[in-house]
Structure 1
Amino acid sequence: MADLYAWLISFFLIIGLLVLVTFQLMCLADLEFDYINPYDSSYRINKVILPEFITQGVLCLFYLVTGHWVMALFCIPHLYFNIRLYRRRQHLVDVTEIFNLLSWEKKYRLVKLFYLVFILFLSIFWMIYTSLEDHDG
């Protein structure tokens, strides 16, 4: 039963990550269609980047602590990439370069979104598998 609760917690963490990445994509789309100025868009995106990185780190650490090694292995490359961006100080969106990097920023966040959806499906699969296993045993 504890394993099922672990999968539920990871499910909600992944949903939180999906919300943060989708919010960033919406801000970039608003900027592309000229609904918002670059200063507001950069401010809104930069405000949620650090919580996204922290949530990703907590999720990876949570998988390691609970013994879900395969899921932790899926999360470690993304965590490493986030840490590398943070250490190089490339994690924030620059107001002056946002239009030049708009296409790359959108692609980067779309890849993150698809990656998180993949992780979400794996988490749902393992949650269902665990609940059926608990029910049978």
Structure 2
Amino acid sequence: MSDLFAWLISFFLLIILLILVTYQLMCLADLEFDYINPYDLSARINKVVLPEFVTQAVQCFFYLVTRHWIMALLCAPYLLHNIRMYRQRRHLIDVTEIFTLLPWEKKQRLAKFFYLVFTLFLSVFWMIYTSLDKQL
């Protein structure tokens, strides 16, 4: 039963991450269609970047603590990418360079989005498998 709760917590952490990345994608699309200015965009996205990084680190640590080794290994590249971005000081969006970096930022966040959807699919699969395995 505790394994099922672990998968539920993992599911909710993944939903939070998906919401944060989707919000960033929507802000970038708003800038592309000229609905917001670059100053508002950078303020909005920079506010949610660190919570995204922390949530993803907590999720990876949670997989390690609950001994879900495969999911921890699948989360490791995303975590290492976030750590590298933070250490190189490229995690925040610069107002002056946003228009030149807009295609790169969108591709990066789309890759994160699809990576999280794939991880969510695996998490739901393992949650269902665990609940069915306990029933039988």
Both structures adopt the same fold (TM-score exceeding 0.5): yes
Q: TM-score, normalised by structure 1?
A: 0.99
Alignment of 1:56-135 (within 5 A): 56-135=56-135
> Structure 2 regions of 5+ residues with no counterpart?
none
Alpha-carbon distance in 2 for matches of 1:77, 1:28 = 24
**Runs of 4+ residues deviating >6 angstroms:** none
AA partner of residue 90 (structure 1): R
Instruction: State how far apart, in whole Å, the 1-side matches of 2:109 and 2:88 are.
Output: 18
User: What is the CA distance between 1:44 and its match in structure 2?
Assistant: 0.2
1:53 maps to 53
User: Percent identical across equivalent pairs?
Assistant: 74
2:16 corresponds to: 16
Q: CA deviation at 1:72?
A: 0.1
Instruction: Name the TM-score, length of structure 2 as normaliser.
Output: 0.99
Measured on the aligned residues, the alpha-carbon RMSD in Å equals 0.3
